[in-house]
Structure 1
Amino acid sequence: MDSTHATDLWDRVVGTQPDPSTWLVVLTAVLALAAVAPYGLWRVTRNAITIAHEGGHGLVALLSGRRLDGIRLHSDTSGLTVSRGKPTGIGMILTAAAGYTAPSLLGLLGAWLLAAGHITALLWGATALLAAMLVMIRNAYGVLTVVLAGAAFVLVSWLTGPAVQAAFAYGVVWFLLLGGVRPAFELQRKRRHGGAPDSDADQLARLTNVPPVVWLGFFHVVSLCSLTGGGRWLLGL
């Protein structure tokens, strides 16, 4: 690739694209809600939230100086991220707290990028994150899930026009914002019935001596505030 092509490619990534029409933004929000609300469909689409959840654990583990051993994604939409390092302390706390907050915070970051007109940067950035995560996947189902997600971003980025790219990007961000809300409520319901004894909230309680219900409240605050703020950015309010 010569310098001219490299410059053109860089300008394409970091440049801005026109804002889509309001009806497209609203339509993608409705479609994202339709992918989150029905339980039967959610059992499938929740895989994408699990990717973000486990990716959040992995990324924060690395940033906090821990050694990331691997990530597993399972067909029941559960996942497991294994890291090594000091079993207590701020690094472990941040790593444990990153899972349930990651989808919503990624959605908030995506909303900020879209509000600034950086549709291409969002698509390429998401592709890069998925490629980096793929290296750490340690089971076949996880590889399949991440490859399919990455392929969707690559195909949309290279083979579609601006309108389709905008619709896809807005749909993904709406899905992260809306889908990031539901898991904390699901965890709360499981714990109410005696399930999920080793959940992220319970691990955080053991690490911090703060009750699990407080950490559940924290997850709710992050997801709902991200949805509110991100939604306002996407709608141009």
Structure 2
Amino acid sequence: MNSSDQQVPFRRTVVSYVQRGERMTVGQQRAWDRHWDELGAEVTALPEGPLDLESWFGRRAPVVLEIGSGMGETTAQLVAAEPDVNYLAVEVYKPGLAQLMLRAEKLEVSHLRLLRGDAVVLLREHLEPGALDEVRIYFPDPWPKKRHHKRRLVQAESIALIASRLRPGGVLHLATDWENYAEQMREVCEAEPQLRNRFADEEGGWAPRPEWRPVTKFENRAHEEGREIRDLIYERV
């Protein structure tokens, strides 16, 4: 184990999310009842130690973790487009996970697993160093008020933890439409010695927007309101 793997545990006193209502539509409840026991798990209910991902997915394949899958609009499309990966989505919002299962059902995908709870706890306690091939953080809550910036997910400690769970050559992909948060993301990731910016030679170090990342209603609204979308792509050294 190298020194970077010994940077954890990282324990937060402030979390990056708020608990929202859990009322579901009839369709979401049916999807939950049909699929949760097979596809989902509560982070707080996981056995001690690392997840046996190969057993849970029923196969060995590259593992992609998406932190904050929201209502699953983007996630479901990405899962359907990547049949050769094992796709993990972690989210705190129960109706969002139910909606994602509903979307996945319609797309007939079977290589998606869902985790409900704190992504930092998942990373720290249930994923081994080098377990992940890619981590995606798309449009995390920007906590725009300055006094709330401490609640943002992308901080030095969380990025060090994420980087330690990536295999060498693994990818961290971030996207946001908040300029101040984009700059914070870049600053934090540039300072993390486990990571290398794949687009360091581009202006500002920003990555070109990948064509394969679906454009959501949320992203379209950001464009309409004049907010520029920024992507950052880093590689585990």
Shared topology, TM-score over 0.5?
no
Q: Quick check: which one's strand share is greater?
A: 2
Which has more radius of gyration?
A: 1
Q: Quick check: which one's helix share is greater?
A: 1
TM-score by length of structure 1 reads 0.28
